[in-house]
């Protein structure tokens, strides 16, 4: 294994809850209205210090998408997914964007997001974008 070079961000930062590696800036959030099996998730325009897994077609609430899991490069935890292809015209804005799950992040103020009992929502669709 080679040397790991991490990008350090300045400002309001979201980081991996396991190893505190910087992942994204709050200014790069496109939408806070996404959901996953652990609760809320955020759609980001730009994310750093992640690696992308293999492509997989997944049926989500908004239709069929080709996505890849996104991993923290430091600890290897799955932190979200990346939209590679949106098969429906109305969902094309998601292509190339990354969703990070709040449950797997530390917020800009250092807070952690906890799994709540009312997180029975599954999928990845925004209520409003």
**Does any domain span residue 91?**
yes
CB 17 within 8 A of CB 114: no
For 106, residues 6+ apart whose C-beta sits below 8 A from its C-beta are 14, 15, 16, 17, 20, 112
**Does any domain span residue 18?**
yes
Please state, in angstroms and rounded to a whole number, the distance separating the CA atoms of residues 95 and 32: 17
**Does any domain span residue 29?**
yes
Please state, in angstroms and rounded to a whole number, the distance separating the CA atoms of residues 20 and 22: 6
Specify the number of domains making up the chain. 1
CATH, residue 94: 2.170.150.20
What does each of the 129 residues of the chain score in pLDDT, given as a tens digit?
578 889 999 999 999 999 999 999 999 999 998 988 888 999 999 999 999 999 999 998 888 999 999 999 999 999 999 999 999 999 999 999 999 999 999 998 877 766 554 444 334 433 333
């Amino acid at each position: 294994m080679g040397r790991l070079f991490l990008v350090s961000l300045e400002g309001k930062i979201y980081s991996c809850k396991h190893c505190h590696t910087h992942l994204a800036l709050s200014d790069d959030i496109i939408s806070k209205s996404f959901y996953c099996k652990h609760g809320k998730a955020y759609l980001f325009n730009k994310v750093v210090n992640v690696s992308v897994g293999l492509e997989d077609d997944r049926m989500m609430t908004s239709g069929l998408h080709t996505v890849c899991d996104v991993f923290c490069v430091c600890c290897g935890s799955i932190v979200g997914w990346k939209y590679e292809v949106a098969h429906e015209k109305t969902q094309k804005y998601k292509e190339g964007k990354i969703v990070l799950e709040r449950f797997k992040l530390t917020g800009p103020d250092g807070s952690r997001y906890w799994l709540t009992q009312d997180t029975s929502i599954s999928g990845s669709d925004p209520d409003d974008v």
